[in-house]
Chain A
Amino acid sequence: EAAVTQSPRNKVAVTGGKVTLSCNQTNNHNNMYWYRQDTGHGLRLIHYSYGAGSTEKGDIPDGYKASRPSQENFSLILELATPSQTSVYFCASGEGQGGPEVFFGKGTRLTVV
């Protein structure tokens, strides 16, 4: 079965600090995604990638960077964390054209204080 693993599962960060959220997939999917989920907003796309070395901006990329060093790994980086970035973050992977089935990790709950 498809497997997407996120770490850490929970994180408390201080305002202005650097936060790195990591994601590993064993599906050998080309596409990987980072979403955040907030009450009333559903899942919003932050960054995505088509393969190792590529990153693309999603709908809400401001304040976030992404890195895809390999097929399996995709990181989300908050260089200067702010309280507005408190949220639940989901990593996902998928394959296919025009709207693939996407497999999600269990999520990372990030609190910025």
Chain B
Amino acid sequence: QEKVQQSPESLIVPEGAMSSLNCTFSNSASQSIWWYQQHPGKGPEALISIFSNGNKKEGRLTVYLNRASLHVSLHIRDSQPSDSAVYLCAGGSNYNVLYFGSGTKLTVEP
């Protein structure tokens, strides 16, 4: 079973700033790492995934993965109030399941 720790629990940034979220895994078994976004009263939706060491950029999102340190981070450039949500980090296993962290609540203030 994969254990996923996320930090910080909550983050408040001004509009236009960079938001940085962190995630640490208990072991290197996760084959894929996912970031999900969840708005209040909704189900989580996949944002971006990464499989290999290094970084991946999609639009305003950049994710960094370091398997040696079991650490992954998500950075949201030019944060907007519509980005306000809970962000969940998840690791995939050999059993085709995702194990989720407890989330980071992001608030972007206008």
Contact = CB atoms under 8 A, between A and B. Distances in A.
A74 interface: no
Given A97-B96, A99-B31, A41 B91 contact: no
14 contacts: A31-B97, A40-B102, A42-B6, A43-B44, A44-B100, A45-B97, A98-B92, A99-B91, A99-B96, A100-B92, A101-B46, A104-B44, A104-B45, A105-B43
Interface string A78-101: 000000000000101010111111
Contact of A41 (B1, B41, B102): B102
Given A31-B97, A40-B102, 6 more contacts: A31-B96, A45-B99, A98-B31, A98-B94, A99-B34, A106-B42
A64 interface: no
Contacts of B96: 31, 50, 94, 96-100
Interface in A33-50: 33, 35, 40-45, 48, 50
Nearest to A31: B96
B88 A102 contact: no
Contacts of B93: 98-99
Interface string B48-78: 0100000000000000000000000000000
Interface string A41-85: 111110010100000101100000000000000000000000000
A39 to B, nearest CB: 9
Contacts of B97: 31, 33, 45, 48, 58, 99
Nearest to B103: A42
B11 interface: no
A102 B46 CA distance: 7
A27 to B, nearest CB: 13
Contacts of A44: 100
Given A41-B102, A45-B97, A99-B91, A104 B43 contact: yes
B32 interface: yes
